[in-house]
């Protein structure tokens, strides 16, 4: 992913803003995942929305079943069926990758894609914060 990748605000919280990443084709994997989740499991989508908004408004929960450190700068936000990998930069929480939770272990491909995005974030955040 290179070129015209960009960040977009998904939710403005009291403590943090939640951002999503759009690739150079203007596609957002996390936004598409959440839209698909709305169609397939509305209750699970509502749980994830509430959890993300709670984190943005009040900070991360202490409950590791909902918010857990994965590795390096990657954290995992979990509901019963869904996972979203995030990282935090100052007041920004960036939603990196999302997937259905099929096993207790995180798919290494999903983690790999999230770590690739983290490498792009410093320049994307400079661009995002520069135009606000």
Residue ranges covered by each domain of the chain: 6-130
Joined tokens for residue 83: 């996972």
Q: What is the pLDDT of residue 3?
A: 58
Q: What is the pLDDT of residue 1?
A: 46
Neighbours of 85 (CB within 10 A): 24
Q: What does the pLDDT look like over 74-117, one tens digit per residue?
A: 999 999 999 999 999 989 999 999 999 888 889 999 999 999 99
| Predicted model pTM | 0.91
| pLDDT > 80? residue 129 | yes
Neighbours of 61 (CB within 10 A): 14
CATH domain 6-130 topology: YaeB-like fold (3.30.2310)
Joined tokens for residue 127: 């661009």
Mean confidence (pLDDT) of the chain? 92
């Amino acid at each position: 992913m290179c070129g015209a990748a960009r960040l977009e605000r998904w939710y403005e919280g009291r403590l943090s803003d939640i951002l999503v990443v759009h690739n150079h084709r203007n596609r957002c994997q996390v936004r598409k995942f959440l839209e698909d989740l709305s169609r397939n499991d509305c209750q699970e989508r509502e749980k994830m929305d509430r959890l993300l908004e709670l984190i943005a408004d009040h900070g991360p929960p202490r409950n590791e079943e909902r918010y857990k450190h994965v590795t390096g700068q990657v954290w995992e936000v979990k509901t019963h069926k869904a996972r979203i990998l995030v990282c935090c930069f100052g007041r920004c929480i960036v939603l990196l990758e999302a997937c259905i939770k099929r096993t207790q272990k995180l798919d290494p491909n999903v983690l790999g894609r999230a770590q690739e995005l983290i490498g792009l974030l410093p320049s994307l955040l400079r661009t995002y914060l520069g135009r606000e």
